[in-house]
Amino acid sequence: MSITWDWLGRVPYLDCLQRQRDRRNAVLDGSAQEVVWLVEHPRTVTVGRRPAPGTPTPEALARHGIAFAKVERGGLATWHGPGQLVIYPILSLPQRGFTVRAYIHRLEQGIIDWLAPYGVDAVRRAGAPGVWVDNDKIAALGVHIRHGVSIHGIAVNVAPDLGDYAHIVPCGLEGVGVTSLAQLGVRTDSLEKLAMDLGPELALRLSIH
């Protein structure tokens, strides 16, 4: 069975998280199908289950106009905001025949292949989930699996304000940077148009074992 996809536009982070949780429950009880959602968020720093060294307090972030959320995904601190395309597959891994490792690999490779026509030579790194260009991360990845169904996903930096990353240690990795398509000199369409390109491609990739 194919997976549907949809562009949700700009959605507050916590609203979208609750929507993911609700959809996962619906997939688990059989009342809804799997889906890939593509979104953009207002400026938000999120931290996963482990402590995230160097992350400012929610109050300090709020003084810069940045929201804060502590969530159930793996990984440490990451940033979401305008100019970043975020992809949330709500997917039954057992139904698709994926192990968690294979699922993460499929997400990373989908972004790597999507970036290639823009002239971006992106790769994955052992022990450092996400997508990399040289020593800079262009896409951050973090997922949460419950009863075999995933939420959270992967976030691609298209043309965000990379200055916001100065507030955190991205993914807890010292000595590495972040980049974006814009910083690499790649001109792109709007996020909505990019979502229309990536959405069906990634949904198809995740449909096929």
> Any idea which residues carry the catalytic annotation?
171
Answer yes or no: is pLDDT of 1 > 90.
no
d(CA 175, CA 194): 30
Answer yes or no: is pLDDT of 185 > 90.
yes
pLDDT at 119: 95
Cα dist from 147 to 17, 84, 95, 152, 159, whole Å: 17, 29, 11, 15, 35
pLDDT at 181: 97
Average pLDDT of every residue of the chain: 91
pLDDT at 70: 86
Cα dist from 24 to 6, 176, 192, whole Å: 16, 34, 24
Q: Is the pTM of this model over 0.85?
A: yes
Answer yes or no: is pLDDT of 53 > 70.
no
Rank 42-51, 97-106, 162-171 by mean pLDDT and report only the highest.
97-106
Query: What is the percentage of the chain residues whose pLDDT exceeds 90?
Result: 74
| pLDDT 10s digits, 106-157 | 999 999 999 999 999 999 988 888 999 998 999 999 999 999 999 999 999 9
Q: Using H for helix, E for strand and C for coil, what is the string for the chain?
A: CCCEEEEEEECCHHHHHHHHHHHHHHHHCCCCCCEEEEEECCCEEEECCCCCCCCCCHHHHHCCCCEEEECCCCCCEEEECCCEEEEEEECEHHHHCCCHHHHHHHHHHHHHHHHHHHCCCCEEECCEEEEEECCEEEEEEEEEEECCEEEEEEEEECCCCHHHHHHCCHHHCCCCEECCCCCCCCCCCCHHHHHHHHHHHHHHHHHCC
pLDDT at 170: 59
Residue 173 — pLDDT band, cuts 50, 70, 90? Answer: low
| pLDDT 10s digits, 78-100 | 899 999 999 999 999 999 999 99
